Amino acid sequence: MKILLLEDDPILSEVIVEHLEYYNYNVTPVFNGLEAEELVYKEKFDLLLLDVNVPLLNGFELIKELRASNNLTPVIFITSMNTPQNVEKGFALGADDYLKKPFEMIELKARIENIRRHFKIDESSLIQIKDEVRYDSAKYLLYLGAKEEKLSKKEGEFLAYFLHNRAKVISNDELMVNVWSYETSPTPATIRTYIKNLRRLLGEETITTIRGVGYVFN
């Protein structure tokens, strides 16, 4: 699980990072809102842990901007701004949880695990394709750097079959049997359309056509 931590207190940040890394979370710490904003648009995170009162761009402003740009990455606020009005504002802006300082690390871990279950965040479903390109076979989501591309169910199954059979020549008949199973078999033109769409997203060099034989996912 890849987590961005925005916390400007270096000691607390270090404590949180050490605790979460002990449980095999991948944590990237940042210390101001602009740094967090830049990373969120550059990389894909499964969860954002945001303090509110941080330099340059506060946590409330950051989540407001992210939600306005349709970035729905789950957010947990961890903050000493804990009045009922602050909590209400945090949730109104799109937060998924709100943890008041001071807190116990065991409570933070429990809330992270709750987010993992709620959003079905499961690293085992993530397949690394190449640098900055991953595919979530459970959600049919293709992550292209910070950009997300939602695939149709069939298109996602089509890609998953290629990914599990990299460097192997796959014929149209094999695709029909293993991807479409007992459903109505597609035409060769339908398969070519899927190939074209995947090349558009992943690059022409990703899938090689072996004329008269099939395709190879490089």
- pLDDT reported for residue 17: 95
- 35 falls in which pLDDT band (50, 70, 90)? very high
* Secondary structure letter of residue 186 according to DSSP: P
* Residue 56, domain extent: 2-121
Q: How far apart are CA 195 and CA 164, in angstroms?
A: 16
- Are 110 and 151 members of one domain? no
Q: Rounded to two decimals, what is the model's pTM?
A: 0.59
Q: 144: which strand partners?
A: 133, 147
- Are 206 and 143 members of one domain? yes
- Are 116 and 134 members of one domain? no
Domain boundary among 58, 91, 121: 121
- pLDDT reported for residue 183: 64
The model's pLDDT over 149-204, given as tens digits with 9 standing for 90+, comes to 899 888 888 898 898 888 889 998 888 877 876 567 788 899 999 999 999 999 99
Q: What mean pLDDT value characterizes the chain?
A: 89
- Are 187 and 200 members of one domain? yes
- Are 102 and 114 members of one domain? yes
Q: How far apart are CA 183 and CA 170, in angstroms?
A: 19
To the nearest 5 percent, what fractions of the chain are helix, strand and coil?
45, 20, 35
- Are 78 and 109 members of one domain? yes
Q: What is the CATH number of the domain that holds 46?
A: 3.40.50.2300
Domain boundary among 121, 142, 170: 121
b/e per residue 174-203 (b: at least 16 CB within 10 A): ebbeebbeeeeebeeebbeebbebbeeebe
- Are 137 and 116 members of one domain? no
Domain count, the chain: 2
- Are 128 and 116 members of one domain? no
